[in-house]
Amino acid sequence: MVPFTLRRLLLAGLLALSISGVHAQEPSRPAGSVEERLSALQDKIIRLERQVGLASRHSPADGIEARLAQLEARIADLSERWEASLAAAPVAAQTAQAEVAAPPPAASAPAAPQAAQISASPAPQLPQSEQMSTPPYAGYMEMHLNNAQAEPTLLDFHRFVLLFGHSFSPRMKFWSELEIEHGFIEGGEASGEVAVEQAFVDFFLKPQLNFRTGILLAPVGILNERHEPPSFFGVERPFVDTVIIPSTWFDAGFGIHGDLGRGFSYKLYAMAPPDAAGFSAGEGIRGGRQHGLFSVFNSPGVTGRVEYRGVPRLTLGSSFFSANTGFNFPSLDPRLSLFELDARYRRGRAEFRGQFAQYWLSQTGDLNRTLELQTGINPNVAKSSLGYYLEAGYHLLPFTQTADVVPFFRYEKFNTQHRMAGGFTALPQFDRSAYTLGLTYRPHPDIAIKTDYQFLRNRSTVVPISNRFNMGVGWWF
């Protein structure tokens, strides 16, 4: 019973220290020490989570207020685990007393196996300097079942993602994300793929200004940086976040980010630009992503995002991406300019989000003619594409319960042929809309079981588009 009591006291002390560290106000310290205190507190919580067997699923947040909110949520998880251990204390005490009262084993009884003896001994404690460098880990996975009318039903283990990090010091952190898509990889075949979607080092200077470099996610839209399955409604990601904003959009780059105070945070990166040779009529700029594979960086793109969280339960965001994309053409350099607005709001059990995105591309007439000469096919790339969606969900169960049931509805409009260069005609099959009606059941906050039905429409009278039924399960840790 003594080890159990000591562990409980240690946990209580660390929780109290963590909570006081999050909420303490020390205006006499310099601004830079706030970052150091937050980083040290995050390391303590990671070690504590591992000690109690509670794996962290959290990617690093940006901005002081966002990081505080994340740490408070993790402390709440630890408090829940601690309370559960307290409830189990009488049982543990009874077990310990029973073991003490039991008679010693007979002399002829065989000794316990060596492995059992080793596992029963206390785990060695690392020095604090080594504990600080223990790498955090997380991950998420999802499996989908898709059935479009008059097409085969497909079951796909869509994503298997592992995230690894390392703390060099309170001011230097590493984070990475390794993704396997579609479950099976075969060289030279149209099967799955392996991608390093994130691999960057953060240098924390002060709350308002920090430096980041490596493989970065473009900070564009709601989902590109926050695409874990339990974080959004629906089995598949919204179409606007697929064909207008080509998530997952990542590439090599570097930049700055920080918290400006009063609810404002920002990111500003220089990243490798997309390649106009991969643009198309149906998927827009999606095929032009370089993915950090010997990315051409002669004329880096510039991307950025500003978020506002100064009002409780409300998040407003705006982002952009601007780049020259014609580095594979000797006398052609189309300019890409993308702009995006989004909002998320929660009131009571109701939850709402919306997003609008549009991009403009110059020299598309010359681009289409050049690509047609090279490939024999006119890609019919538009000079402007746009999309937007509105979404509403309602949490049926009280927030005091672990489980959650959320019916939702989303309307999307997305057109990759919004405006065309002179001499080119918009293809109506790519002027599309989607009505998604679905349900998400969360037996645990980290697991989402989803189902939805999508009513899909386009403006073509010749090329139909089929409705689709989807089921899926996703989880993170």
Q: Read out DSSP for 37-68?
A: HHHHHHHHHHHHHHHTT----PPPP-SHHHHH
pLDDT tens column, 434-446? 999 999 999 999 9
pLDDT of residue 64 exceeding 80, the answer is no
DSSP 171: T
73 pLDDT above the threshold of 80: no
Mean pLDDT for the stretch of residues 4-26 = 43
3-state secondary structure of 413: strand
- The average confidence (pLDDT) of the chain is 82
| Omega before 248 within 30 of 0, i.e. cis | yes
Which uninterrupted H or E stretch holds 439? strand 431-444
pLDDT at 60 over 60: no
What residues does each domain of the chain span? 2-99, 132-476
3-state DSSP assignment of residue 466: coil
**Alpha-carbon distances, residue 416 vs 140, 197, 262, 290, 458 (angstroms):** 30, 25, 37, 20, 12
Residue percentage of the chain with pLDDT more than 70: 71
Each residue's pLDDT tens digit, 384-424: 999 999 999 999 998 888 999 999 999 999 999 999 999 99
| Alpha carbon separation from 342 to 70, 320, 386, 414 (Å, rounded) | 21, 12, 14, 15
pTM: 0.73
| Distance, C-alpha 190 to centroid of its chain | 26
**Per-residue confidence at 82, pLDDT binned at 50, 70, 90?**
low
H runs (alpha helix) in 242-375: 364-375
Q: What is the CATH number of domain 132-476?
A: 2.40.160.10
Greatest mean pLDDT range, 14-28, 88-102, 360-374: 360-374
Q: What is the mean pLDDT of residues 316-321?
A: 98
Are 89 and 6 in contact by the 8 Å Cβ rule? The answer is no
Average pLDDT over residues 175-192: 77
Neighbouring C-beta atoms of residue 475, cutoff 10 Å: 19
Q: Over 60: is that where the pLDDT of 122 sits? A: no
Q: Cα–Cα distances in Å, from 51 out to 37, 86, 87?
A: 21, 16, 18
